[in-house]
Amino acid sequence: MTIHREGYASILLTAIILTLLNIPSWLYLSDTYLWISILILIISLGLFLFIVSFFRIPSRKLTLNDNLIIAPADGKVVVIEETVDSEYFKDKRLQVSIFMSPANVHVNRNPISGQVIYNQYHKGKYLVAWDPKSSTENERHSVVLKRENKEILVKQIAGALAKRIVNYLKNGEQVKQGEEMGFIKFGSRVDLLLPIDTKLNIQLNEKVKGGVTVIGSL
């Protein structure tokens, strides 16, 4: 397991704040209220470990297959439905949404290999990630990947806690399946807008792993 580069500053800041909190606790409280100092220390260690865990990149064998669509994120499948895309395709698409809790790995990966033909950031609200309106009203970053004659839209969506979306892709860039496309801090969701005839390999409420779980076939 390694730590994602997006986490370096957050982990350092957390360590500094918790250290500054614990030093006066042990200097001024431990003699009289030792249990309070111990409690603050335990809570601080738990919080620090949680922040470190949030930015973890676990070692895993990625699924690489040009005929398959791979999960772009860890989490739970909360939406599988037909929808009309008003942003790019302007027609019916099959939407698959993956909810990422704060406990999930938050690296986002390319579901297919191909060329980036659309890359757009949208300002927006911070509705809870499971609200259906979050797909179109929340802060989000949309990318369309094209492989041969197939196009897939991947949408990183901010939530009530997620206040920063990072996307590494550029228009015209050729990307590989399984490589990092971005990162969302502190829980949210990722939507896939797929061709309407996509054969899915997942079910509603199924837990998926980014870069590993097969979503469907191209």
Which of 25, 44, 135, 188 is catalytic? The answer is 188
* Residue in 188, 172, 50 with CA at minimum distance from that of residue 107: 188
Q: 198-206: long-range contacts (C-beta < 8 A, 24 or more apart)? A: 198/69, 198/94, 200/80, 200/94, 200/96, 202/71, 202/77, 202/80, 202/96, 203/77, 203/80, 204/77, 204/78, 204/79, 204/80, 205/76, 205/77, 205/78, 206/76, 206/77
SS3 content of the chain, % helix, strand, coil (to 5): 20, 35, 40
Q: Is 217 a catalytic residue?
A: no
8-28 vs 34-54: helix axis angle to the nearest 10? 180
Q: Report d(CA 57, CA 104) in Å as an integer.
A: 10
Half-sphere exposure of 165 (CA within 13 A, CB side): 26
Q: Which residues are catalytic?
A: 188
